[in-house]
Amino acid sequence: MNTATTIKKKEKIVRRKDNWQLYLMLSPAVVLAFIFVYIPFGGIVMAFQDYKPYLGISGSKWVGWEQFKFMFEYPDSVQVFWNTLRISLLKLFFGTVSTLTFALLINEVRKKFLRSAVQTFVFLPHFLSWVVLGGIFLEILDPTNGLVNEALKVIGFDPIFFLGDNNWFVITVVASDVWKEFGYGSIVFLAALAGINPALYEAAQLDGAGRWKQTLHITLPSIVPTIAVVLTLSISQVLNVGFDQIFNLYNPLVYGKGDIIDTFVYRMGLVDGNYSFSTAVGLFKSVVSLFLILGAYRIAYKVAGYKIF
Tell me the per-residue pLDDT of 36-76, one tens digit each, with 9 for 90 and over: 888 888 888 888 888 888 888 888 888 888 888 888 888 88
With 90 as the cut, is the pLDDT of residue 287 above it? no
Better-predicted residue by pLDDT, 33 or 300:
33
pLDDT of 13 reads 54
pLDDT of 274 reads 86
Q: Is 61 helix (H, G, I), strand (E, B) or coil?
A: strand
Better-predicted residue by pLDDT, 307 or 117:
117
pLDDT of 11 reads 55
With 60 as the cut, is the pLDDT of residue 84 above it? yes
Out of 15-19, 36-40, 129-133, 205-209, least confident range:
15-19
Shared domain check, 293 and 172: yes
Q: Could you tell me if 49 and 276 are in contact, meaning their C-beta atoms sit under 8 angstroms apart? A: yes
What is the CATH number for 99?
1.10.3720.10
- Helical H runs in 50-197? 56-59, 66-73, 75-107, 112-123, 130-140, 147-154, 166-194
Shared domain check, 112 and 12: no
Shared domain check, 264 and 121: yes
Q: What is the pLDDT confidence band of residue 172, given thresholds at 50, 70 and 90?
A: very high
pLDDT of 220 reads 86
Q: Return the half-sphere exposure (C-beta side, CA atoms, 13 A cut-off) of residue 249.
A: 32
Shared domain check, 128 and 1: no
Residue 24 lies in a domain: yes
Shared domain check, 97 and 8: no
Residue 161 lies in a domain: no
Domain assignment of residue 26, given as a range:
1-37
With 80 as the cut, is the pLDDT of residue 2 above it? no
With 90 as the cut, is the pLDDT of residue 174 above it? yes
pLDDT of 8 reads 57
pLDDT of 159 reads 87
With 90 as the cut, is the pLDDT of residue 178 above it? yes
Shared domain check, 104 and 25: no
Mean pLDDT of 161-181: 91
Residue 148 lies in a domain: no
Which pTM value belongs to this model?
A: 0.81
Residue 153 lies in a domain: no
Shared domain check, 172 and 28: no
State pLDDT tens for residues 7-27: 555 555 555 566 778 888 889
pLDDT of 99 reads 92
Shared domain check, 262 and 176: yes
Number of domains observed in the structure of the chain:
2
Distance (Å, whole) CA 279 – CA 264: 11
Which contacts (CB < 8 Å, 24+ apart) does range 259-266 have?
Answer: 259/76, 259/79, 259/80, 259/83, 260/80, 260/83, 260/84, 260/87, 261/80, 261/81, 261/84, 261/285, 264/76, 264/80
Shared domain check, 4 and 126: no
Shared domain check, 174 and 292: yes
Mean pLDDT of 167-171: 91
Shared domain check, 106 and 227: yes
Shared domain check, 114 and 27: no
